[in-house]
Structure 1
Amino acid sequence: MSEKKIKYCGLFGYYPKWLQKYANSKIFIIVYGFLGLVQAMAFIYMTVTLTTLEKRFKIPSQTTGLILSGNEISQILSLILIYYGGVGHRPKWLAVGVGLSSLSCFILVIPHLIYGPGEAALALTQEYLAKNIKMNTTQKSDFLPICNDKNSIKEICANDDWSDDDGIVPRFLIFFSQFVLGIGTTLYFGLGQTYLDDNSKKSNTPMLLGVTFALRTFGPAVGFILAYFCMKIYIVPDLHPIINEKDPRWLGAWWLGWIFLGLLLAIFSLLIALFPRELPKKLHKISNDKNMTEVEVPLNIENNLQKNLNDIDELNNLSIEKIDSQQDDEPNIKDFFTTLIRVCSNKILLCNNLSAVFGILGVIPYMTFIAKYLEVQFETSAGGGTVITGPISLISMVLGFFFSGWFISKFNPRPSRLLSWNVFGGTLWAVVQIILIFNTCEIIEHHGIDRQNLIINLTDTCNVNCNCDDSKYSPVCHQATKTTFMSPCHAGCKNSNDTKSYYNCSCVDLSLKKNYNNDTVINDSVTVGPCKGDCTNAYIIFMILIMICNFISATERIGNVLVNYRCVDKKDKSISQGVTLMIVSLFALIPGPILYGAIIDKSCLLWENSCGENGNCWHYDKEKFRLLFNTTASFFTFIGVLFDVGVCYLARNVDLYGKNDDDKGIIFIQDEANIVKYKKTKKVSDNIT
């Protein structure tokens, strides 16, 4: 292999001199860190826009969890790519992965390009209403029905394009995009971090990991903001909706952010590909010891070796002997399985991975379904709650990464103390999740839903003659009683002032008229949108608890990664990362969203029903949701703590900081030539002529 391809910055045979000064670990950290930032933006953008995708394509949460598992399925299948990439040109393999991540973003835009915003979203625009008026039609939108509206449009199933809204094609495209994204994620974690570790001092690894983790953690904060602004834009930006983003029927421009993210990832794919296979080593000196010392010397200065060594006073008496340069063996399938068996049989690695599995199962609901949790429990708008909670909690993670990276690099705490901190952090998370079971706010009544007996009967004596059977979910609120009705029709409303208020509603509490001097316009009127309770205090408590736990979790991460690196041979580091990703994906990231999606669906009270098929959920049993959600998470977190105790015991003597590293004492002397190795044998004067 050409030395330029190994040691020089460039691409496609182009290695300009001005670019070589950027071939160092600091520049790699910057590029790799900001690449992680953009990848994290994509992850959190999917999380925030998830509820909008469910509404647009009528996807239940359990099905959503299955669709998102495409990311983890590809990570399992990509294990062999980690092996080949680990013994090959890691930056270029990493660039391929980033390019695939970019492609996945553009794949996600395709459902919108094919199917558009959907009839439901178009019907809630001024342009749609103006078109009906211009056509002199007396029909009203079936999404704004009123009592006795015999002209309301009925649902026609026979002529529906099934794949338009709730069919297999949009769901497959979302699944496929996640599958492609998973390959890029696998290569990012499996190759990037090991490349960084192999091209820097082992004692500096904690700080370098802290910097890269912190930069990656900024990604979700920026992703929250990107999602917030995209979700404030209507799904068709050039149309004018008659509802605002607080209405549950609002669909934001979820597709817009994927174009921006795809372009950013494409740029970083090119940048990461420029790095050489190995970063050039600078001339440096480490204190002498009596152990074997290796010196790497350029071939073209072999005859002048004495002169070069004499320039370093401390090495004047160093004796050396030329040894054969070892080339990397070509990877093959046989070695792959041998390596895989060796790595999987490592007790420390296995225990650390199981700790990660249960730890992730405990926290993944607060990542994947955080937007839905905030919507249901604290009545925030889609993306509106995360724009506050997200950045605040993620800033605490950034501080945790920086602090732990600095602390570990500075003080090198022994493994037992460092890993005991993980036990404390996991225990704290489990306790907080139990506390969240009781963190609630005012529950708003929904007409026709008996929460205690779980009986749903939206047809009452007050609306029995209103022909509401085919009315779509378009909630209205009677402010005086804080009661939400499924639609103006279900509220028994016979008249409308505009598209935002209705009156002469027979199902409101008419006894309140006495308090308003029989002013029927006030007492029997409703406004568009569900009633909102006061959830400010509960929301603040949730933010504070999550912020504290995220800070503690961030300080644990570097210790876990160091254990993974140091408990295996140097040549097995990349494949061990791949095995970790495989185990975490197979047992946590795939079943986790599916499990919690099923839990969320189990607490649903009111489903979107189209032609006899359930779509997304419109109304949840808040108490059941919170109890099942947090109890399950707490259980998994506690199991993870038990494995943390095992890691703390098994890894108590692991050399986390490279103090016993075989490369200690190496001094690198190099120029643009090839490299050969020498080892200490006898005096230089006897060996060099």
Structure 2
Amino acid sequence: MQRVYIFLLLFSVVLFLEAIGGTYMVSAVQSIERQFQIPSKLSGFMVSAGDFGYIPTVMFIAYFGSKGNRAKWIGGGTILAALSYMLIASPNFIFPVTQPKLNLTAVETRITPSATLLLSNASIADYMIYAPIYDRIPLIMREKLLEHFGEQHRIGRIQRDFFDNAVNTSKKIGHHDNLYLVDGAILSKIVDQVDSILRGNGGDGELRELLATYVHNRLNHSDIDVANMKRSAIAPFSFCSKLINELRQILKNAKCDRSVSNFGPFVVMFTALVLLGIGRTMPWSLGVPMIDDNVKRKSLPAYFAGISFIRILGPIAGFLIGSFCNKLYYTLTTPPGLTAKDPTWIGAWWLGFLIVSILLIVPSCALFFFPSKPRRTKVVPKNGTSAEQMNGTLTVLKPERELSFFDKHKEDEKNLTAEEKFRAFRESYTEVIKSKVYRGAVISRVLDSLAFRGYMVFLPKYLENHYGIPQYKAHQLMAMFGVFGFALGTASGGIITRRFRLNGRCAALFVFVVSTINLCLFAVKIFLGCQSVVNTVGLNGMVTNFNYTVPCNADCGCESAPLFPICNSNGYAYYSPCHAGCREVILNNADAYHLEFASCDCSPGEVLKKELCNDDCKMMIIAFFICVIVGAFAAGNGLVPGMLILLRSVPPAHRSISLGLQGFLVSLLATLPSPLLWGTIFDSACLVWNQTCSNGSGSCAIYDPVALRIRTHVAYVAIRSSAVLIDLYVAYHASNINILEEEEEPDNAERRESLVLEPLPNAL
């Protein structure tokens, strides 16, 4: 049995690595889009390339692969998958990407002081219309300042020695770099001095000196200023600065104007994913029947549970590898000033594919070249001596059970013509479809996948928009509760099936019960609603018909501001710091990126931040993930008995093709249309759309929380209810299905079943 264990080990490893690769692709898509400027619609089509390779080939490979050396077929398929992963990574090396050159002349012109500002007789009014200062001084404060000075500011003059002193002061103060503001230290002093003047605590002398200092700093630090503004423009939030928001629009236009003609990288990755789809047809459809041939039926649930558990852990490892690689810049050299938290960051997506490829190639080759015959066992008498006969009896030891590479139930087709082979191919699938239990099991599986696949794809978006959970944390929670709960359920289902010897109808009823539990827990999620911060922004927008531009932020240029909710002390949620009219960004903790926003025209005298937002979702999040882990555990319990029912519902010779046909139907009718179905459901609940380069509707920024929650889970429950009813149909017809009891089979020389000869009579 040692060879069986070695095969199982290799088979489990390749299944685990294959599952890692499938999940890792999800984490790599965004970086691929950014590096090669591939639009989301095209990248979604590219990711589906795996199904384009899988669907047309799985039925043929399952049929013809079952007629040959299955270990060699499995090894060949995973070798193809390993090479495909390497090919996916190759565009990073063969298609270098040049960064677009930005025309920042307009921005540089606006931050370059005019000749008037450099004169000794520059007025306060002249300083107030200088773009960087204009953006920083709150509107009300600026108007009151000009009103305070009246007409005097137009004829106010700075004496020559005072002006020279201002220039010297600029050298002493120097340039204070700030993450988001241009020379923020001096700007803050200017604001404080304006406030002091308006309170009647000072004159304009110190203010003029600070203004002159700030202007002269711009002459000496123009390159640094542009770099600082660019960093602010690519920040995940926008504040009230028309100059920086104009730069944000320039960056957006440059991205839109850049030609999306990266045909080469797209074709290479699309081809690689098609080949990957072909490669992944072999392990499951051929490996499961091969294990069935080499393991006793009573032990089969435990083996299937263990293998499925390992396979399910693959997505967890895929997310971890994706997290590691996305923290590295794609060139492995991080540009100055750019961090992994920046929205323009491109992770080292190609590295993960190379890691999986290298790890997968070794066990794949071991399977491909797995020896088909074991070492011969020397036959000796029972007492261990070398005599062949003792006391008139001959005892032949039971040789080591040989690993069966070929399907023991296969029919000999060596002498058939091509036409006869095609007829046999067609008749095999026809015979499989005739099984009522098989038809019901496959239809139920298709409905399960139709509900589950799209729901899982959009679940991170649902958690973020409805409960306010960040996407990175949503993936962690999904892995901790959903994937791990399902994995534990799979192991539990295998143990229960073997421990209680669930056979036929009992196993089918067990699947029905755990599916019903999972369905009920999903129905509970319909009522787990709350008001997150994003939801509150949407509700506030209903008052103004989702036009978030109001008089207090009309001068900020917030048209392209991304969603970044912040709140005032009353808990009122603004769409972004820009829409709150906030002109100052305060970074309290650089490591934790704890941000606060001040000098807000829409909430004067207050400091706004996310922590002030009202959020009553904490308890609902706990309840939601309790439902997730219990539901995933229940669903996992049905995996092993469901798989055994499907295998036993068809003639033994047709097990591989039954799995191939199931994979074909599930991919064609479920995994392909499911994301489109759930995407339509999500879009139907959208309140505010982001704009594309062509001013069309892009991704959704804010959803109607009630509509999203109800439509999402009602649709899931409706589809899964149909699947549960079909589980009852399967249970009704599964009374004669033999899952665990061993078959009585005639001696098979190819399988080389061991014999123990009875003592020979003396007469012989």
Correspondences of 1:152-551 after superposition (within 5 Å): 152-153=246-247, 154=250, 155-156=252-253, 160-163=257-260, 175-232=270-327, 238-239=333-334, 253-277=348-372, 310-312=394-396, 328-330=412-414, 332-444=421-533, 452=542, 455-469=545-559, 471-473=560-562, 475=564, 477-482=566-571, 485-496=574-585, 501-508=596-603, 510=604, 520=605, 523=606, 525-526=607-608, 533=615, 535-551=617-633
Partner of 2:6: 27
Partner of 1:299: none
Q: Deviation per CA, 1:421-449: give whole Å up to 9, x if none.
A: 11112212221112112223332256587
Partner of 1:99: 79
Distance in 2 separating the partners of 1:655 and 1:623: 47
Deviates more, 1:88-97 or 1:217-226: 217-226
Structure-2 change in CA distance of 1:139 and 1:559 (3 Å): closer
SS of corresponding position for 2:632: helix
The structural deviation recorded for 1:112 is 5.5
SS of corresponding position for 1:93: helix
The structural deviation recorded for 1:648 is 0.8
Partner of 1:85: 65
Structure-2 change in CA distance of 1:404 and 1:199 (3 Å): same
Contact kept, 8 Å, 2:553 with 2:602, in 1: the verdict is yes
Contact kept, 8 Å, 2:481 with 2:628, in 1: the verdict is no
Contact kept, 8 Å, 2:19 with 2:312, in 1: the verdict is yes
Distance in 1 separating the partners of 2:325 and 2:362: 22
SS of corresponding position for 1:455: coil
Q: 2:723 aligns with which of 618, 640, 658?
A: 640
Contact kept, 8 Å, 1:44 with 1:220, in 2: the verdict is yes
The structural deviation recorded for 1:653 is 0.7
Instruction: Return the index of the structure with the highest Cα Rg.
Output: 2
Letter in 1 for 2:564: P
Q: Deviation per CA, 1:383-440: give whole Å up to 9, x if none.
A: 3222233134333333323333233234422311111011112212221112112223
The structural deviation recorded for 1:28 is 1.4
SS of corresponding position for 2:722: helix
Q: Deviation per CA, 1:24-63: give whole Å up to 9, x if none.
A: 1111112211222222222333345567767888888877
Distance in 2 separating the partners of 1:253 and 1:529: 33
Partner of 1:322: none
Contact kept, 8 Å, 1:51 with 1:382, in 2: the verdict is no
Partner of 1:143: 234
SS of corresponding position for 2:471: coil
Structure-2 change in CA distance of 1:38 and 1:678 (3 Å): closer
Contact kept, 8 Å, 1:374 with 1:386, in 2: the verdict is no
Partner of 1:623: 706
Contact kept, 8 Å, 2:79 with 2:360, in 1: the verdict is yes
Contact kept, 8 Å, 1:434 with 1:634, in 2: the verdict is yes
Letter in 2 for 1:354: I
Partner of 1:291: none
Question: Are positions 1:556 and 2:638 aligned together?
Answer: yes
Aligned length: 611
The structural deviation recorded for 1:210 is 1.2
Structure-2 change in CA distance of 1:204 and 1:397 (3 Å): same
The structural deviation recorded for 1:578 is 0.4
- Consecutive unaligned residues of structure 1, counting only runs of 5 or more, are 1-20, 285-303, 315-324, 511-519, 669-673
Q: Deviation per CA, 1:103-145: give whole Å up to 9, x if none.
A: 343344456664769779xx9x989x99995466488334355
The structural deviation recorded for 1:102 is 2.3
Letter in 2 for 1:163: V
Distance in 2 separating the partners of 1:439 and 1:247: 33
Q: Deviation per CA, 1:260-290: give whole Å up to 9, x if none.
A: 2222222332232232457789999xxxxxx
Q: 1:40 aligns with which of 3, 10, 19?
A: 19
Deviates more, 1:204-213 or 1:476-485: 476-485
The structural deviation recorded for 1:631 is 1.4
SS of corresponding position for 2:642: helix
Structure-2 change in CA distance of 1:126 and 1:195 (3 Å): farther
Distance in 2 separating the partners of 1:486 and 1:170: 37
Partner of 1:580: 662
Letter in 1 for 2:310: L
Relative to the length of structure 2, the TM-score reads 0.69
SS of corresponding position for 1:405: helix
Distance in 2 separating the partners of 1:416 and 1:143: 60
Contact kept, 8 Å, 1:600 with 1:625, in 2: the verdict is yes
- Consecutive unaligned residues of structure 2, counting only runs of 5 or more, are 105-177, 184-219, 380-387, 399-408, 588-592
Letter in 2 for 1:87: K
Q: 2:735 aligns with which of 652, 662, 674?
A: 652
Structure-2 change in CA distance of 1:439 and 1:230 (3 Å): farther
Letter in 2 for 1:545: C
Distance in 2 separating the partners of 1:254 and 1:531: 35
Distance in 2 separating the partners of 1:179 and 1:307: 67
Distance in 1 separating the partners of 2:304 and 2:458: 27
SS of corresponding position for 1:339: helix
Contact kept, 8 Å, 2:537 with 2:565, in 1: the verdict is no
Letter in 1 for 2:740: Y
Contact kept, 8 Å, 1:231 with 1:383, in 2: the verdict is no
Partner of 2:116: none
Q: Deviation per CA, 1:562-604: give whole Å up to 9, x if none.
A: 1222222222111111001011111111111221122233334
SS of corresponding position for 2:690: strand
Distance in 2 separating the partners of 1:450 and 1:536: 21
Letter in 2 for 1:259: L
Letter in 1 for 2:484: I
Deviates more, 1:258-267 or 1:182-191: 258-267
Distance in 2 separating the partners of 1:245 and 1:547: 31
The structural deviation recorded for 1:224 is 3.2
SS of corresponding position for 1:606: strand
Contact kept, 8 Å, 2:78 with 2:364, in 1: the verdict is yes
Q: 1:70 aligns with which of 49, 52, 73?
A: 49
Partner of 2:118: none
Letter in 2 for 1:311: T
Q: 1:609 aligns with which of 692, 702, 713?
A: 692
Deviates more, 1:561-570 or 1:268-277: 268-277
Structure-2 change in CA distance of 1:53 and 1:437 (3 Å): farther
Distance in 2 separating the partners of 1:647 and 1:107: 43
Partner of 1:589: 671
Distance in 2 separating the partners of 1:577 and 1:308: 52
Distance in 2 separating the partners of 1:175 and 1:624: 36
Distance in 2 separating the partners of 1:221 and 1:658: 35
SS of corresponding position for 1:310: coil
